[in-house]
Amino acid sequence: MQIEQRDMDSAVKAELITADQAQKLWSFWQKSHEHTPQFRFTHVMYYFGGMLTIIAITLFITQTWEKIVGLPLFVLSSLLFLLGLLLAHYFLKKNLRIPAGIMATFSLVFVPLAIYNIQTWLGYSPHQKFSYSDFHYWVNWYWVPMELATLAVGAILLYCYRFPFLLFPISITLWYMSMDLWPLLFGMDNFSFTQRAIFSMYFGLVVILAAIYMDFKHSNDDQDYAFWLYIIGVIIFWGGLSCQESESELTKFFYCLINIFMILVSVFLNRKIFAVFGALGVLGYLGHLSLTVFSKSIGFPIALVFLGLIIIFMATKWSSVERRLFEYFRPYMPQKIIKRMQR
């Protein structure tokens, strides 16, 4: 349950607390959550500015930068890396954790650029001609050292500063590495789309398990370290799962069951990302049934209508079942998840 200002006003009107007590309580809660990411104008500006700086140095690097590739660009990226850390310390001294975390993340995104220029400077480059801007578009084993270095530096920064936003570039790097590792591990220049999808599915599952571990390990911590791992892990897993091709209707039915299971997992972990992609998967399977298996059936849409109505009526009875399940599993659930479910 989330308390808002109007709830405090209602409590005052009901004469449960005085207006002065309501104001003091509200001020106390606002101050205690000042450094927790929320949808406030100040926080939106923090992240908007941070994303601008991060995207500028990742997706929007132009080919003009190739004119200074090698040692000069390595020196420049290293200086900007240090600048980000200095700004992070500056904001920490002012007790501004959110912009400090954004600046630490800003530093981290310079690591692959620095490693790319070391590789180029030392002549360690593939037969094809790559530019740094291709890092975000082309799958190739050449990027793996950059990704490993980014993960290593990210782990060090996360250990030192404990900023959850650092897991954003770490998760993206894991996503890239899930695609680039395949040709490196198996020595294959040519591999099928299905093979890559299978590898991505298993890699995404590993990331999801790591996110669950983070959730349970930091169960009493107000910082949400698992947020970005869940998002990227689910995208990788669901994308790999959905991109596999099969002519078997039984396999497609199992795909639907996995997506239904994801929806159930979203309730237990209180993570909407599972429900969103699980629902997309179920809808995709129903679309397949409508367009192929039951394309000439009049009763299929009517059956879906009745199925939807049954689910709605089941939902009206679910709250009591949910309370019993919650009480049963409560001793095994992290406190952070319990708090999110009680909001």
**pLDDT tens digits in sequence order for the chain, 343 residues long:** 455 556 556 666 766 667 766 666 656 555 555 555 554 566 677 777 777 888 777 776 766 667 777 888 889 889 989 999 999 999 888 888 888 888 899 899 999 989 988 888 887 765 556 777 777 777 777 788 889 999 999 999 998 988 888 988 898 888 888 778 777 777 666 667 777 788 888 889 999 999 888 887 776 566 778 888 899 899 989 988 988 887 888 888 999 999 999 988 887 787 888 988 988 888 888 888 887 877 777 777 777 777 777 777 776 666 666 667 667 666 666 666 666 555 5
Tell me if 46 sits within 8 A of 98, measured CB to CB: yes
How many Cβ atoms are within 10 Å of 327's Cβ, its own excluded? 9
Q: What is the CA radius of gyration of the chain?
A: 24
Burial of residue 197, with CB atoms counted within 10 A of its CB: 0-12 exposed, 13-18 middle, 19 or more buried: middle
SS3 per-residue string spanning 19-73: HHHHHHHHHHHHHHCCCCCCCCHHHHHHHHHHHHHHHHCCCCCCHHHHHHCCHHH
Tokens of 220: 């009493």
pLDDT of residue 258: 92
Q: Please give the DSSP secondary-structure letter assigned to residue 122.
A: T
Rounded distance between C-alpha atoms, residue 98 and residue 270, angstroms: 24
CA 271 to chain CA centroid, Å, is 11
* Annotated domain spans of the chain: 1-32
Q: Output the CA–CA distances (angstroms, integers) from residue 56 to 53, 64, 135, in the order listed.
A: 5, 14, 14
pLDDT of residue 1: 45
pLDDT of residue 217: 77
